Homo-oligomer: A and B are copies of this chain.
Amino acid sequence: MKPQPIQLQQIGSIKTPYIDKAPYQPYEDKLSRFEVEVFPEFEEGLNGIESFHYLMLFFYLDRADLSGKLMVDVSWANIETGVFSTRSPDRPNPIGFSIVRLLQRERNILHISGIDAFDNTPLLDIKPYILDLDSKKDANNGWVDELEDKEHMSLHLRGIPH
């Protein structure tokens, strides 16, 4: 039995300064504006969101490569690894995920810290990042911890220009 396709809907747009090129990870570029525009018909669902410091954004990576390659060349680390052990946008279901700081809410607009998404990326969902559930202190960095020059590699991992 072949599984049925799953349909989702766009509920808003992510506004960023990135037209042709975006960083690998949410980088806090304080000179640029980053906004989430939730379509007005979903604005009521934002009630109470101001109480959170961090949000999780789920978005559709509409420029991802859907060719189906399951191994990824991680050029900055000079390794090849499975797509599910990376945050590459080119994956079987191109769901983007970023944790961002909520700076301010104006009605259906959320002003946020930097995000690694192209301008006008379709928004799928917003969930609160909850300290007691989501901050795992005993997590690790997986294969990145095994690389030589780990501190330099961590800058790449976090998308920090250097």
Check A45 against B6 for contact (C-beta < 8 Å). no
Kindly provide the distance from the CB of A144 to the nearest chain B CB, expressed in whole angstroms. 7
A107 within 8 A of B: no
Write out the residue numbers on chain B whose beta carbons fall within 8 Å of the beta carbon of A128: 84-87, 142
Classify chain A's interface size: 35 or more
Write out the residue numbers on chain B whose beta carbons fall within 8 Å of the beta carbon of A6: 7-10, 60, 122, 124
A132 within 8 A of B: yes
Contact with B along A80-94 (1 / 0, CB 8 A): 011111110001110
- A interface, by DSSP: helix, strand, loop or mixed? mixed
A56 within 8 A of B: yes
Contact with B along A91-102 (1 / 0, CB 8 A): 111010101000
Contact with B along A122-162 (1 / 0, CB 8 A): 10111111111111111111111110000000100110000
Known: A44-B82, A53-B139, A85-B128. A7 touches B5 (CB 8 A): yes
Kindly provide the distance from the CB of A37 to the nearest chain B CB, expressed in whole angstroms. 12
Could you tell me which A residues sit within 8 Å of B by CB distance? 3-11, 25, 38, 42, 44-49, 51-54, 56, 58, 60, 70-71, 81-87, 91-93, 95, 97, 99, 122, 124-146, 154, 157-158
